[in-house]
Amino acid sequence: MATKRFMTLPRHIMEGEKEHPEATGELSTILLQLGLAAKLISLEVNKAGLAEILGFTGDENVHGEKVKKLDIYAHEMLIKAMDHGGHFCVMASEEEEDIIHLPPNQKIGKYVLLFDPLDGSSNIDANISIGTIFSIYKRISQGNGPGTREDCLQPGYKQVAAGYVVYGSSTMLVYTSGHGHGVHGFTLDPAFGEFLLSHDGIKIPKQGRIYSLNEGNYFSWPQGLKNYIKYLQSNLFEGKPYQARYVGSMVADIHRTLLYGGIFIYPGDKRNLKGKLRLMYECNPMALLMEEAGGRATDGHSRILEIQPEALHERTPIYIGSEDDVLLVEKFLRDGADRY
């Protein structure tokens, strides 16, 4: 078996930069800083089960330090790692209501960072995979003063990079810098402390054999979605029905979908017409990754990346994965006329 190239995340990012003579190197630095933050969050996530020994969240630990909830820790760690490089003009996090300004006296840059610091955090206590999701834009506001809410409210196709870190059986960072540069995955070597290229140029199969959604909400789904899932269950595809897989951590479910193909769905339903997942922090970055890997991501009708956001924390239904699977569910939704 041929040995894979030994390629660290920093080397991969630097080599990618060489292909772009116009690049200033800023985006590379941002990605490297995100990699560093990911390592620190990963270390803390790996200690999660020790909380009772080292101190409950909210308590003081044996060192007399307050033990933070992991999602708050991840949120603060990302801000701390990212707000001093002079690259950003504004940030926004799923954990904070409003936009996050840079500290006073910091150099202000031309990029915008949006992130979900620890997605799926309700799974932490059961040792189930969780993740960090990030999304990077260029500012649209004029001048070099602090960024604005409008800088954050850009449609997803304007992202210049996006990615996630999955804290699972190993820690992986997966990113794309868009524009056909592909999706690349790096696995953290815990001894070496570095991300190594393990999944070069990820391509999702055109059709998969797995569907992934919370079936507990079945009776609230639109009729077209009910029909689609029943169709997958009652037909055989190359001799087998589709398999159901649902972790309940978007990062883990999307990671599996990218690698194996199939479809991940968080629909709108009777109670929540726009579903649960957030456009800016969850759906846009995953949609960019999915399209770059050759997949498709829509709200059931239209491309996620073309939604013009109106609010920082707005939600959207999402149907994302292998192209043929997403196209088929869209057809079922049209035929079911979105009736409930």
Burial environment of residue 240 by CB neighbours within 10 A (0 to 12, 13 to 18, 19 or more): exposed
268 binds ligand AHM (CB under 6 A): no
- Dihedral sign for Cα 327, 331, 336, 339, please: positive
CA atoms within 13 A on the CB side of 184: 21
- How far apart are alpha carbons 88 and 80 in whole angstroms? 12
Pick one of ligand AHM, Mg ion, none as the site partner of residue 276 (Cβ within 5 to 8 A by kind): ligand AHM
71, 95, 119, 325: residue in contact with Mg ion (rule CB under 5 A): 119
Site string for ligand AHM, 73-102 (x = CB under 6 A): ---------------------x--------
Strands (E) across the chain are located at 88-93, 111-119, 130-138, 161-167, 171-176, 183-189, 194-199, 210-212, 243-244, 263-266, 296-298, 318-321
- What part of residues 158-217 is at the interface with ligand AHM (CB under 6 A)? 214
- Residue numbers 130-149 binding ligand AHM by CB under 6 A: none
Cβ closest to Mg ion, residue 110 vs residue 313: 313
Q: Which does 292 bind (CB under 5 to 8 A by kind): ligand AHM, Mg ion, none?
A: none
CB count in 10 Å sphere of residue 219: 9
Strands 171-176 and 161-167 come out as antiparallel
Q: Which of 71, 116, 269, 325 binds Mg ion (CB under 5 A)?
A: 116
Kindly indicate which of the ranges 103-111, 117-125, 138-146, 147-155 contains the residues binding Mg ion, using the contact rule CB under 5 A. 117-125
276 lies in the site for ligand AHM, by CB under 6 A = yes
Task: Identify the residue whose tokens are 């951590």.
Answer: 249
Residue type at 49?
Answer: G
Q: Judged by CB, which is closer to ligand AHM: 155, or 248?
A: 248
Kindly indicate which of the ranges 31-39, 103-111, 179-187, 247-255 contains the residues binding ligand AHM, using the contact rule CB under 6 A. Answer: 247-255
CB of 249 to Mg ion, least distance (A): 9
Minimum distance between the CB of residue 274 and ligand AHM, rounded to whole angstroms? 13
122/170 with CB nearer Mg ion? 122
Q: What string marks each residue from 160 to 189 as x (binds Mg ion by CB under 5 A) or -?
A: ------------------------------
C-alpha 23/C-alpha 86 separation (Å) is 16
Kindly state the DSSP code that residue 311 receives in the 8-state scheme. S
Picked from Mg ion, ligand AHM, none, the partner binding residue 158 (CB below 5 to 8 A depending on kind) is none
Q: Which of 284, 197, 205 is nearest to 16 (CA)?
A: 197
Does 95 contact Mg ion by CB under 5 A? Answer: no
Strand duo 171-176 + 183-189: pairing: antiparallel
| Rounded least distance, CB 243 to ligand AHM, Å | 18
**Considering beta carbons, is residue 108 or 128 the nearer one to ligand AHM?**
128
What values do phi and psi take at 58, rounded to 5?
Answer: 95, -25
From residue 111, alpha-carbon distances to 18, 29, 44, 139 in Å are 20, 12, 27, 5
Q: Which of residues 98-127 bind ligand AHM (CB under 6 A)?
A: 119-121
Site residues for ligand AHM per CB under 6 A: 94, 119-121, 214, 248-250, 266, 276
